[in-house]
Amino acid sequence: MNHEEYLAKIERANAWAKAYYVDDAPLASDEEYDTLYHEILNYENENPLFADEHSPTKRVGGMVLEGFNKAEHKARMWSMEDVFNEADLDAWIERVKKVKENFTFYCEPKFDGASLNLIYENGMLKQAITRGDGSIGEDVTENVKTIGSIPLRINYQEPIEIRGEVVIKKADFERLNTDRLSAGEALFANPRNAAAGSLRQLDTSITAKRKLMFYPWGIGINSLTQSFLSQKMSFVYSLGFLQPPRIVVTQSVDDVHTLYAELIAKRDEIEMMMDGMVVKVDDVSLQEELGYTVKYPKWMVAFKFPAIEKVTRLKDITLQVGRTGVVTPVAEVEAVNIEGVIVERATLHNFDEIERKDIRIGDSVIIIRSGDVIPKIIKVLTERRDGSEKVVERPLNCPVCGSELLDDGALIKCQNLSCDARVVGAIIHFASKKALNIDGLGDKIVEQLYAQKLVLHVKDLYTLNSEQLLALEGFKAKKADNLLAAIEQSKGVSLEKFINALGIEHIGEVAAKKIARAFGLEWLEANYEQIIALEGFGEEMAKSLVEFIHVNKAETYELMAVLQPIASKLEITESVFTGKTVVLTGSMSQPRDEIKVMLEKLGAKVSGSVSKKTDFVIYGEEAGSKLAKALELGVKTLSESELNGMIK
Ligand SMILES: NC(=O)c1ccc[n+]([C@@H]2O[C@H](COP(=O)([O-])OP(=O)(O)OC[C@H]3O[C@@H](n4cnc5c(N)ncnc54)[C@H](O)[C@@H]3O)[C@@H](O)[C@H]2O)c1
Ligand SMILES: [Zn+2]
């Protein structure tokens, strides 16, 4: 790299940093930024005399957004050194050991959010400031007052700065984006941007609506006398702040590596987005001895997790037709490796999403894959377009059967009931795990059987023979026998699974179970009134089932004759609870689910909320608002032992 290229890289990194820190709308993935950053750093290490003062390696990232008042931190806020592998972590440990051979590590998750400094004086929250450039940040005091996990008063009178991360749970981030999608607003790329963007709102009421949380990780000025960071932080947590789920204080390097592995394993399970683990020196006097660079403390380091967000290119959008006829767009992308998995496709909800995100074929996009979740496109990098990108048109005809599609905005549907895609989809659903669970009857085989016209309807599965199967490509005696045996074995399935397997619109697993329990084998005789009376059934579900029965009654009876599903109809014993609505509250001596089933066997309807229509509230220990409401409404209440007395 020559000096000119070095300067160009600095310019690009600074533009990316502004978009990331100031606008909360990144122009690149973290991985790309980190690569660029390290290229700059390497050049500076090799040519220290030519290092430029504007380099991102020389300062803490942020700047103050226009519209906010500037505010000064009492003690400086820092950035953090990154390491990406064990060897670099061990090298950092060795550097600390040169100063002191034996020391204690303080390790915790690195949540990915927005950095915040809280200044308390006389036990009151006086000011809240974003990190900014480390010396001066934005005054966000009023916004911060809307965050529930930030105490406005603490039981400590001396001046103290409490630093931490403002985060939003992954699930709340998803909900926020779903709402923004339907409101036609720009989406946040990830929880970090959502947290930072929600905190830095000029309109406080917007911040208040977002579910922000605050996790402390350090302190600025203070007159605490404890000698270890871990002790100081315990004190901070005791003042009423949230504590992160995993903190490890240890002298053992092995423990540090173990925590790293554990956090990566729990990465999806932990509700907050983490981008690594932070390792700190616990001894405050050793921290001071180690000191700081211009940018970060030498006594702590971030051991980063492998990136789950990558930049790739959208090659095409293909269409998938499901068993209900819904046409879903699928993004075909250039293959990228995310945590060891090669990703080539990403889901898109619907065409509205494509339009709102303005996704075009040929675009560079940031794609995320976390855990088992199907990869998705989180951001289009529009400034990388060269004009050759193609706008995605909404389809007019079914890609499978060619018939005209119904486009109702959010959903595009093929209405042709005998569309191959719908029929094949229905058979695949019938054989799937949660339905009949027929081993060896996966998507490919169903497609093959359908293409050969051997199975055009699920009932045809039960007349298949080995000769027919052996004539198919890829079938040998063993495979054919296994498949026939698995099909045979699906006979005598529970009625609820059978109903679910039929793939009736709006009738899923839970509803199928309720139908089976309520009507048993006579379920095809149920009428609209009986169906809508079932707990949790709305008009849409009842109508759909009635319509299904109307069209498919004879055929379904035939299928039942072949399959002989076993009914699990609940036999009800008459009791004082028969036909009554009962609510359970408080903690009971036996599992609530067991009590619920027992009451249902006595003919009770067990509901979750208390109203005038409730007949009994049965309470255990520490019962709260539901019991209070029952007393207020004059609903009859029974303790757990009174209940036991009545049913013995
Ligand atoms: N995508 C982009 O365009 C782009 C641009 C700039 C920066 N970035 C990303 O930002 C990061 C660099 O930013 P940075 O220099 O602000 O560092 P950083 O955000 O990686 O680390 C420092 C921050 O970590 C936070 N933190 C979380 N848990 C902590 C804990 N337990 N203890 C102490 N601090 C904790 C603090 O807020 C602190 O300010 C990199 O990951 C980089 O990829 C991305
Ligand atoms: Zn079709």
Whose tokens are 């909404």? That residue is 394
What's the CATH fold of domain 70-304?
A: D-amino Acid Aminotransferase; Chain A, domain 1 (3.30.470)
pLDDT the model gives residue 83: 96
Q: Which one-letter DSSP state was computed for residue 457?
A: S
CB 208 within 8 A of CB 61: no
- What is the maximum alpha-carbon separation in the chain? 91
Q: Which one-letter DSSP state was computed for residue 500?
A: H
The CATH homologous superfamily of the domain defined by 581-647: BRCT domain (3.40.50.10190)
- Can you name the residues that pair with 346 across neighbouring β-strands? 331
DSSP of 295-318, one letter per residue? SSBTTEEEEEPPPSEEEEEEEEEE
For a mutational test of ligand 1's pocket, the pick from 9, 57, 79, i.e. the residue with the most ligand atoms closer than 8 A to its C-beta, is: 79
Ligand 1 centre to CA of 308 (Å) is 16
CB 318 within 8 A of CB 364: no
Domain 312-413, CATH class in plain words: mainly beta
Ligand 2 centre to CA of 313 (Å) is 29
For a mutational test of ligand 1's pocket, the pick from 80, 83, 129, 294, i.e. the residue with the most ligand atoms closer than 8 A to its C-beta, is: 80
Q: In angstroms, rounded to a whole number, what is the distance separating the alpha carbons of residues 98 and 589? A: 58
The CATH homologous superfamily of the domain defined by 3-58: Helix hairpin bin (1.10.287.610)
Q: Give the type of residue at 223.
A: S
pLDDT the model gives residue 193: 92
pLDDT the model gives residue 97: 97
Confidence label for 648 from pLDDT (cuts 50, 70 and 90): low
Nearest CA to ligand 1 atom 14: 79
Find all residues with CB under 8 Å of 525, minimum gap 6, and list them.
Answer: 519
Neighbours of 617 (CB within 10 A): 24
Name the percent of the chain lying above pLDDT 90. Answer: 76
Which ligand 1 atom minimizes the distance to the CA of 164?
37
pLDDT the model gives residue 215: 98
pLDDT the model gives residue 612: 87
Residue 540 annotated in ligand binding: no
pLDDT the model gives residue 121: 97
Neighbours of 525 (CB within 10 A): 10
pLDDT the model gives residue 570: 67
Q: Catalytic residue at 110?
A: yes
Residues with CB under 5 A from ligand 2 (ion): 398, 400-401, 414, 416, 419
Residue 419 annotated in ligand binding: yes
- Can you name the residues that pair with 494 across neighbouring β-strands? 566
Q: Give the type of residue at 483.
A: L
pLDDT per position as a tens digit, 39-92: 999 999 999 999 999 999 988 877 777 789 999 999 999 999 999 999 999 999
pTM: 0.74
Confidence label for 159 from pLDDT (cuts 50, 70 and 90): very high
List the structure tokens of 378.
Answer: 């989180």
- Whether residue 34 has pLDDT greater than 90: yes
Which ligand neighbours the alpha carbon of 23 most closely? 1
- Whether residue 491 has pLDDT greater than 80: yes
pLDDT the model gives residue 536: 86
Q: Give the type of residue at 319.
A: L
pLDDT per position as a tens digit, 565-618: 998 766 778 888 888 899 999 888 888 878 888 888 888 888 888 888 899 999
Q: Which one-letter DSSP state was computed for residue 378?
A: E
Same fold, 70-304 and 495-563: no
CB 508 within 8 A of CB 541: no
CB 134 within 8 A of CB 56: no
Q: In angstroms, rounded to a whole number, what is the distance separating the alpha carbons of residues 398 and 575? A: 55
Q: In angstroms, rounded to a whole number, what is the distance separating the alpha carbons of residues 13 and 299? A: 26
Name the percent of the chain lying above pLDDT 70. Answer: 99
Ligand 2 centre to CA of 509 (Å) is 26
Confidence label for 24 from pLDDT (cuts 50, 70 and 90): confident
Which ligand 1 atom minimizes the distance to the CA of 78?
39
Nearest CA to ligand 1 atom 43: 30
Mean pLDDT of the chain: 92
Alpha helices in 60-117 (DSSP H): 86-99
What's the CATH fold of domain 420-489?
A: DNA polymerase; domain 1 (1.10.150)
pLDDT per position as a tens digit, 162-197: 999 999 999 999 899 888 878 878 888 889 999 999
- Ligand 1 neighbours (beta carbon < 6 A): 16-17, 20, 26-30, 33-34, 61, 79-80, 108, 110-111, 115, 131, 165, 217-218, 278, 302
> Which CATH number among 1.10.3720.10, 1.10.287.3510, 1.20.910.10, 1.10.150.20 corresponds to the domain 495-563?
1.10.150.20
pLDDT the model gives residue 170: 93
Which ligand 1 atom minimizes the distance to the CA of 165?
37
* Mean pLDDT for the stretch of residues 483-504: 94
Most confident of 135-144, 405-414, 601-610: 135-144
Domain ranges of the chain: 3-58, 70-304, 312-413, 420-489, 495-563, 581-647
Residue 5 annotated in ligand binding: no
Opening angle at CA 68, ends 62 and 72, nearest 5 = 60
List the structure tokens of 104.
Answer: 């204690």
